[in-house]
Amino acid sequence: MVAKATVGHEFLSCYEKPSFARMIVVGYGYWSGTQSAGAPGFDGFPALNTQFQALSRSTLEAMMTWVCGGAGAKNVLITSSDPQTSGQWSPEFTNALTAAGHTFTLTGDISKFGAYDPLDFDMMFCEDLFSVAETYNGMTVSWDKFDFLLGENLPLIVDLRMTGAGEFERYGFNKIPAFHTAHGSTYGAPEWKYQRPFHCAPMGAAQYGLVKYTTTIFEAGTNIMGGTSAVYNCEADVADNEGVIGLWDGNG
């Protein structure tokens, strides 16, 4: 175990980083910020429900704690447009990061690193297909970049798009070209309205909730990259309850 202090952070922001990479994948649309019944965002719809917001944020924090190997403030890179708009990595999402004590930097483009090196940060949020027009350490192919970053022990949380080259089938996550469509208000306790509840033991014993119920479905594939991978489904009593979140642990 080594202590890591990221660029622009003081020592009190250091934390013990594990000696292995971890990655979480979620279906496309998880971080939506459009305030409509189909895409409620982190703050709830239609009444800006505080319980909804708290549950959304606790899910995010549990994901970050697992993928980074511990709790504490993180300095985060996000491949996102700047200024932000509603949609992927929305203002509701970054507000949740700030509320939890994290700091973040936007690359300015949802498919590029721009002026930033991901390895200068504690972790990265990104989509699954980087622009081939951008070269990073001599690499232009997107899966080469991901393999390199995971090999350099950078924790990743990745939003799987509907299209792309299937970079993460090699890590055990196979995209299905379809969306979850069941309406969130038809199941579960009222606080899970418009969310997709699930359990994921590595993240903790609590029940968590995927923010957007129309997120992309994915299933377990063949992991050829080592470590372990697992896909977690919505609760069994939820309609179209296929995979909603996947965890890959490079330490096995």
**pLDDT, tens digit, 9 for 90 and up, residues 168-215:** 888 998 877 777 776 555 544 555 666 778 899 999 999 888 766 667
Q: List Cβ neighbours of 209 (8 Å cut-off, separation of 6 or more).
A: 55, 56, 59, 192, 195, 196, 197, 198
Q: List Cβ neighbours of 141 (8 Å cut-off, separation of 6 or more).
A: 132
**Predicted local distance difference test score (pLDDT) of residue 86:** 61
Angle at which helix 50-68 crosses helix 91-99, to 10 degrees, equals: 70
pLDDT tens digits along 83-121: 776 667 778 888 889 999 999 999 988 888 989 999 999
Respond yes or no on whether the N-terminal peptide bond of residue 46 is cis (omega within 30° of 0): yes
What are the Cα distances from residue 159, in Å, to 19, 74, 218?
24, 19, 11
